[in-house]
Structure 1
Amino acid sequence: MFNPSQADVRRFFCSVYGKARIGAPLEAIETLAARWMDEHPEYAAEWSDLDAALTRMGEADPARTNAFLHLSMHLSISEQCSIDQPRGIRLAVEALAAQHNSLHLAHHAAMECLGRMLWESQRAGRPPDGEAYIACVLQHATHDGHKKSR
């Protein structure tokens, strides 16, 4: 199993950002990361400076979104959907994307569910509950839809 360190993740994203900006050839996962990076220009400064990114590792700032974690979650959800693991996540995210008329917004809502599932798993010391994760995503699709129709 691939288990990159926090520094590895930051190096990967900074490398992809640099390669994409100069039009260098990208591997498939790099292409996917670059597409999500294009959706988040507000984080460009963080991805463009590897030394600063490595220096800031471990710094928690509740007022700022961690650009590297955020992009990692986009990639995780993309991969989960591509292989439909946990089973049903692809349809759940598609339903949410249809509801929001945006895959990007659907990912952001799914991130809340993914983060909650991981936090609850770690807190309880048990494996992640994929069914609860999917139910949460579907609940967002249904709940958000009710808000829109009012």
Structure 2
Amino acid sequence: MLFNPSRDQARRFFITSWQKHQQGLALADLEAIVIDVLIAHPEYHQYLSEEYIDRDWPPEHGDSNPFLHISLHLAIAEQLSIDQPAGVRQLYTQLHAQYGDAHKALHDMLECLGEMIWQAQRHNTAPDPNIYLNGLRARVKLSR
């Protein structure tokens, strides 16, 4: 189910994972990763209920979609676990070291990943990992 979930399936997975956590139930590995992300984002806890399954957060209204944010965190967790695209783990390590803050480093990565996705959508092309990696490299260089 989670290899290519629909928007609703992904959102329900996050909500169910949060409910299991709150009830003290055993979590599967991916659920535990989701919980780590959610614990780092208490501002999203209010959205972890069925009433938000269909809600949109249009960027033109200045809204940040909590479910998209969680999903990007999960994508980065997987990238780091397998070092794909190649070199992403080293760039994360450098960002983490320069900030002294893992979450700040992850949010830089989120911005670069989002830019890559936006470029692909804008140009109707496949995502280009070089856009992502170059964005990360620039952030590492900027703060040196």
Query: What is the TM-score normalised by the length of structure 1?
Result: 0.88
CA-to-partner distance for each residue in 1:43-78, whole Å, 9 max, x for gaps?
11101x12x11231x352633311111111111001
How many residues of Structure 1 are paired with residues of Structure 2 in the alignment? 142
- Asked if the contact 1:20/1:26 (under 8 Å) is kept, the reply is yes
Distance 2:141 2:37 in 1: 25
Equivalent of residue 60 in structure 1, options 58, 61, 76: 58
Distance 1:99 1:115 in 2: 21
Distance 1:59 1:45 in 2: 14
The one-letter code sitting in structure 2 at the alignment partner of 1:60 is P
- Asked if the contact 2:83/2:89 (under 8 Å) is kept, the reply is yes
Residues 1-150 of structure 1 mapped to structure 2, 5 A cutoff: 2-47=3-48, 49-50=49-50, 52-56=51-55, 58-60=56-58, 62-143=61-142, 145-146=143-144
Cα pair distance change 1:55/1:124, threshold 3 Å: closer
Distance 1:139 1:59 in 2: 29
The one-letter code sitting in structure 2 at the alignment partner of 1:141 is V
Compute the RMSD of aligned alpha carbons: 1.5
- Asked if the contact 1:16/1:34 (under 8 Å) is kept, the reply is yes
SS of the residue aligned with 2:53?
Answer: helix
Taking only the aligned residue pairs, the percentage that are identical comes to 36
Distance 2:105 2:123 in 1: 27
- Asked if the contact 2:57/2:64 (under 8 Å) is kept, the reply is no
Distance 1:80 1:59 in 2: 26
Query: What is the TM-score normalised by the length of structure 2?
Result: 0.92
Shift of 1:21: 1.1
Distance 1:41 1:142 in 2: 31
Structure 2 residue ranges without an equivalent (≥5): none
CA-to-partner distance for each residue in 1:87-145, whole Å, 9 max, x for gaps?
111111111111111111111111111011111112222221112211111211221x2
- Asked if the contact 1:10/1:68 (under 8 Å) is kept, the reply is yes
- Segment drifting more, 110-119 vs 58-67: 58-67
